[in-house]
Structure 1
């Protein structure tokens, strides 16, 4: 089954291509990384009339944005009280409020720019994988409801009806959220940014970035860009840069497989309301449908025989009617996972920032952080940033943590659902 390829690449209705950058250029803002953060920043900056150049080492959406599950979630993996406990009450509530509204930003951009990315805003279901998970969801519900979020708890019987699967101990429904085709969304943002005047280049890996003569100077093998401001938005797919040392952050692999399109008789019994799902297990799993009626199951771990075997077994355990369906796609991506599970804005110098660490929540936070970073870098006013920039950030034992995540996923998946 390995090497079947990404469903998102094969099904994306949005097409975007760009040439490689060659020569010397100047800009108001240069952006490294063609994912949700960088593209949202490019769209915002170009919309303000700024001269923007975005450089992507591969193709638009090549990294985590194009390998995403496609859940447009509100908030973070952490419950809101935990966010406040880490950041402090005022800063925590500022981030909670901003990210609670972030799905609205995503779906508004989709509507405004007519992005063909299968948007469906029926909410998401956070599934309780065990009784402890149900208790955790009740605590999360209480925290969200106290902040006025449109959330509801559903029992195991209703969860079975809304998923088509037995065995879950209940779920938390969040009406703010939804699903999209993530690579198509990224490409649509690129198209919209280019239409607004941004200059976007693919297959342009940057070799160095430095501050010189009051400007940022970015070099690739065949080009040089001078810019007043710099945004590095490469996240889990960052490549080392000469003259620029960014902190290492542990990464987590996330694997997905997709079935062939299913007929209405079968597909109609699975997630009939169209919600995207993820569960409360430490080694998390995800579940959703696409517009063609494919069932897409994901889990932490790399694209290996162990993960594929686990995913196939779990799919059949959840939905016995899928025992004979064909798996047409399998792919994996990397998640940048900070130690406190909070995204970071690292100050690189005057009018320079790097953003990373969404910990698996890339779509809505990335779109929001990119927009606000562009505004701050162009205006010099950082009041609208969702979190305060930090002057430095360090993570200990990053490679070891990455190895532990992967080993844990393989052990759990190798032993489970046999």
Structure 2
């Protein structure tokens, strides 16, 4: 978790507009009705909705807006969690489950709506998302999943193998499913645009503001920082995968998993013409997901393909390149101009967590690879609670029981073991399905 304090030299950073000049480092003593710790998607969208309501809100970050998981991910805006509808209803009850399913399905509308409303320049494209089946069993499961979601009114459609080849530029996949609700953005640019929107709506932002302790005094919450203090009526902790020891045990409620990204140097014109020509973003159903999108300037962008719970490692990138050669064997040798990693917060059941840590203190985290849409949605929900219009137990995401994972001390061993196991399974499935 000891990533350098500067924003990584990613493709996102190279192409995003700079941060708004109105964001200053923290020093001194301030107060606000609501203080949000963490300037990622959750914190920034909560701050934006509160500022739009006229609430006195201050968003702070130990580094700068978008520094953590929000500015390092693949940029997929997805309209679903990682669960089937009946699983969500079983987990949260039929009524609450249906509300959550509907809200998550509308999350991309919310993301692209904010982008349009505030003119955020983040290379936003809503051309849909293709989920690819790499094996007969994956194809069968994908057909069942698509049928279930279609029966619930979701506009998904199956892509037979020939159409899949036309849409993706490869005959590797046996079929796919298309969801027109999704899309893709530059996530760091989105985070920076949200930061500018918070300021324009009347909210405040501070960088270089790491909180070391929270105490209660005189009916207020006091946040202690190295260079001063902040007095708050309510606090929202929105640090997600980069949660530290500020609140005892909070970082032990999920497992941090570092995932890699690769973006090529510009390729010869025409070399990528057949790959996702309609601008969709694609990911497959391997245990170690392989994702592809095309960036401006004829660049190939790969994501997924492995990970670690510790430091960055070369093997994660090599695995992605190997998968790329399997899926697109016709591509020329490529040079990779940008490579970076970032942690995502994985919960055991892949559901996000909403905690009421103490009266007036909430936390929301654990998006498990569904952060852009889900965090944007939950930012709107948290703003309802923080502005005293909705009780926290009435938000669209039900409250979670606060529980530290007993195996957290062994997280690196567990993740490494799981990655090796899933990689072996994926290699076996590939050999059985494709004969090579």
TM range (shorter): over 0.9
- Provide Cα deviations, 1:366-401, integer angstroms capped at 9, x if missing partner: 001011101211125137622122352332312434
Q: Kindly tell me: are residues 72 and 14 of structure 1, through their superposed partners in 2, closer, same or farther at Cα, counting changes over 3 Å?
A: farther
Tell me the TM-score normalized by structure 2. 0.90
Contact 1:81-1:143 at 8 Å conserved across structures: no
Verify the 8 A CA contact 2:127 2:182 in the aligned structure 1.
yes
1:92 to 97, 100, 113: 97
User: How far off its partner does 1:402 sit?
Assistant: 4.6
Query: Superposition pairs for residues 170-319 of structure 1, below 5 Å?
Result: 170-241=175-246, 244-246=248-250, 248=252, 249-299=254-304, 300-302=306-308, 303-319=312-328
Change (3 A) 1:349 1:19: same
Q: 2:240, 2:364 within 8 Å by CA — same for their partners in 1?
A: yes
What is the rounded CA distance, in whole Å, between the counterparts of 1:104 and 1:151 in structure 2? 16
The answer to whether the Cα contact below 8 Å between 2:35 and 2:234 also exists between their aligned partners in 1 is yes
**1:370 paired residue number:** 379
Can you give the 5+ residue segments of structure 2 that lack an aligned partner in the other structure?
431-435
SS in 2 for 1:104: helix
Aligned counterparts, 1:13-412, within 5 A: 13-16=17-20, 18-241=23-246, 244-246=248-250, 248=252, 249-299=254-304, 300-302=306-308, 303-382=312-391, 385-390=395-400, 392-410=402-420
Number of aligned residue pairs: give it: 415
Cα displacement (A) at 1:413? 4.9
Unmatched runs of 5 consecutive residues or more in structure 1: none
8, 11, 16: which one aligns with 2:15:
11
Partner SS for 1:379: coil
Q: Which moved more, 1:396-405 or 1:111-120?
A: 396-405
Structure 1 stretches of 4+ with a deviation exceeding 4 A read 410-418
Q: Is the 8 A contact 1:6 1:331 kept in 2?
A: yes
| Cα contact 1:8–1:181 (8 A) shared by 2 | yes
**CA distance, structure 2, for counterparts of residue 106 and residue 345 of structure 1:** 20
> Quick check: 362-371 or 378-387, which moved more?
378-387
Shift of 1:365: 0.3
Q: 1:92–1:399: structure 2 CA closer, same or farther, 3 Å change rule?
A: farther
Q: Counterparts of 1:264 and 1:355 in 2: how far apart (Å)?
A: 44
| Distance (whole Å) between structure 2 residues aligned to residue 342 and residue 268 of structure 1 | 37
Post-superposition shift, 1:345? 0.6
Query: In structure 2, how many angstroms separate the alpha carbons of the residues matched to 1:165 and 1:334?
Result: 30
Give 1:14 shift.
4.9
Q: Is the 8 A contact 2:128 2:181 kept in 1?
A: yes
- 1:299-320 deviations in Å (ceiling 9; x for gaps): 2314422112112222223223
Identify the range of structure 1 (193-202 vs 11-20) with the bigger mean alpha-carbon deviation.
11-20
The alignment's TM-score, normalised by the length of structure 1, stands at: 0.94
- Range that drifts further, 7-16 or 249-258: 7-16
What is the distance in 1 between the residues matched to 2:54 and 2:70? 26
**Cα deviations by residue, 1:28-70 (Å, 9 ceiling, x for unpaired):** 1100111100000011111111111111111211111101100
Q: Secondary structure at 1:267's aligned position in 2? A: coil
1:247 and 1:319, CA in 2 relative to 1: closer, same or farther beyond 3 A?
A: closer
Post-superposition offset of 1:113: 0.4
User: Is the deviation greater in 181-190 or in 275-284?
Assistant: 275-284
Is the contact made by 2:167 and 2:276 (CA closer than 8 Å) also made in structure 1?
Answer: yes
Bigger mean CA deviation after superposition, 378-387 or 46-55: 378-387
